[in-house]
Amino acid sequence: MQNQHPAAELPSLRRQKILLLLERDGKVMAAELSRHFAVSEDTIRRDLAELDAAGLVQRVHGGALPRPKDSGKDYFTRVGEVNEAKLRLAQYAVQWVQDGQTVLFDSGSTTLHIAQSLPADIRLTAVTAAPMIAVALAEYPGIKVILVGGQLNPATLSASGHEALRMIQGIKADLMFTGVCAIHPEIGISSLHFDEVPIKQAMFDSAAEVIAVTTADKLGAMEPFVVVPCQRLRRLVTEHEVPEADIQGYRQLGIEVLLA
């Protein structure tokens, strides 16, 4: 970055410009921002702290990463929003489901779309901790639904706790569809909600193969709580319009990246 700004620039304007740089570059570093805006690193750290507190960035050592655009939205808001990209991704992802499998469905609006996009005559055993996904799966005559119980998180409409964890640990699944709050090739899959991390980790441990299905805004982003490294994925399904630069890091980890 080149020095382009006077030191007296208003903090609010500087923070807006930091967000633009973050959107452009996918990551910002405090030392580079300090030189770019001709202010101290302490000033930049305060800027990043303010942006983090507002839920606009996720601070990391030495800088910040973007957060997904829908970070913090409750479940009903996300489900109620018409998102053609999520529908296309879901319809593409169901091609890997086969008759007779045991399939884990993680919580999330995209995994709900996947459950609703299965072939009408599919026969399988489905396991989920999300009641709304369980209801969607129950409409299929050939699907046996196992609903994992526990304390319900109103933000995610998914169960958590010791009983939920014990049930998932006792299951060996062929396939898992995971919802993604945020994913970064170096940091991994991360979540906004601490209580759902052990459940997600147990699902990863219980599945022979994991497919992550996500819209482009979740790529290169981070939430506060890390679930697993990206290497735990077999496939990553995302939008067709994603630039190659945004997905090459995942391919370098040996993940099959598919653009739907």
| pLDDT tens digits, one per residue of 148-164 | 999 998 888 999 999 99
Q: Is residue 2 part of a domain?
A: no
Same domain, 112 and 241: yes
Same domain, 91 and 135: yes
Q: Is the pLDDT of residue 8 over 50?
A: no
Same domain, 21 and 117: no
User: Quick one: how many helices (H) and strands (E) in the chain?
Assistant: 10, 15
Q: Is residue 3 part of a domain?
A: no
Q: Is residue 168 part of a domain?
A: yes
Domain with residue 51: its CATH number is: 1.10.10.10
Same domain, 89 and 197: yes
Quick one: pLDDT band at residue 9, thresholds 50, 70, 90? Answer: low
Q: Is residue 92 part of a domain?
A: yes
Same domain, 194 and 228: yes
Separation of first and last alpha carbons in the chain:
35
Same domain, 50 and 143: no
| pLDDT tens digits, one per residue of 164-206 | 999 999 999 999 999 899 999 999 999 988 999 999 999 999 9
Exposed/middle/buried for 118, CB within 10 Å: 0-12, 13-18, 19+? buried
Q: Is residue 238 part of a domain?
A: yes
| pLDDT tens digits, one per residue of 197-225 | 999 999 999 999 999 999 999 999 999 99
Range of the domain at 167: 75-259
Tell me how many domains the chain contains. Answer: 2
